[in-house]
């Protein structure tokens, strides 16, 4: 994991890669970092400065589940409540409360109705304190119960 921000209550399986670094794929003749990154401290460099940002910030929201061996490229944002399937390669932003999988990853389906997802994004259960969670965890078993009770 490199240059990433991870939200609360995330489930991240083994061998997940987040923020892998970038290589140029347009305009630059070569993808080798020797030609576009300045790294004298590492004992190698030809470039007189960095010509490309090697890492861009990656953001994983709250309550996100990332499956085994998923890879998330630099600069991507994974929305709250999203699920990333095992082995997925995420190359673009993932909206909240959607399920993505494949290579490259694509949306498989939404987790909840638009109304339910909007409720959860505004409710932000992950910001509740531990006492609230202990008293109300059972309401998190069914989004319709949580919405009805509207705590």
Does 81 share its domain with 14?
A: yes
Query: 29 or 42: whose pLDDT is higher?
Result: 29
Does 116 share its domain with 100?
A: no
**Tell me, what's the pLDDT at 35?**
86
Does 44 share its domain with 116?
A: no
Residue 61 φ then ψ, to 5°? -70, -165
Does 19 share its domain with 9?
A: yes
Does 40 share its domain with 76?
A: yes
Does 22 share its domain with 84?
A: yes
Does 90 share its domain with 121?
A: no
Residue 38: cis peptide before it, omega within 30 degrees of 0: no
Mean pLDDT of 136-150: 90
Does 119 share its domain with 103?
A: no
Overall domain count for the chain: 2
Predicted TM-score of the model (pTM): 0.88
pLDDT at residue 105 is higher than 90: yes
Does 30 share its domain with 17?
A: yes
Q: In the chain, pLDDT over 90 holds for what percent of residues?
A: 70
Structural domain range at position 84: 4-111
**C-alpha distances in Å from residue 140, one per residue of 10, 75, 128:** 15, 31, 12
Does 133 share its domain with 81?
A: no
- For residue 35, what are the contacts with CB-CB under 8 A and spacing of at least 6? 28, 29, 46, 47
Does 78 share its domain with 131?
A: no
Does 73 share its domain with 92?
A: yes
């Amino acid at each position: 994991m490199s240059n990433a921000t991870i939200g609360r209550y995330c489930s991240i399986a083994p061998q997940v890669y987040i923020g892998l670094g970038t290589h140029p794929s347009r305009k630059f003749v070569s993808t080798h970092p020797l030609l576009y990154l300045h790294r004298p401290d590492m004992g190698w460099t030809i470039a007189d400065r960095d010509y490309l940002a090697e890492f861009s910030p990656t953001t994983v929201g709250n309550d996100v589940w990332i499956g085994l061996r998923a890879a998330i490229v630099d600069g991507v944002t994974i929305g709250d409540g999203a699920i990333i399937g095992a082995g997925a390669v995420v190359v673009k932003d993932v909206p909240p409360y959607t399920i993505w999988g494949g290579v490259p990853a694509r949306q498989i389906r939404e987790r909840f109705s638009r109304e339910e997802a909007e409720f959860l994004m505004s409710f932000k259960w992950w910001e509740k304190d531990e006492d609230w969670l202990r008293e109300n965890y059972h309401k998190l078993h069914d989004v319709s119960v949580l919405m009805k009770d509207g705590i």
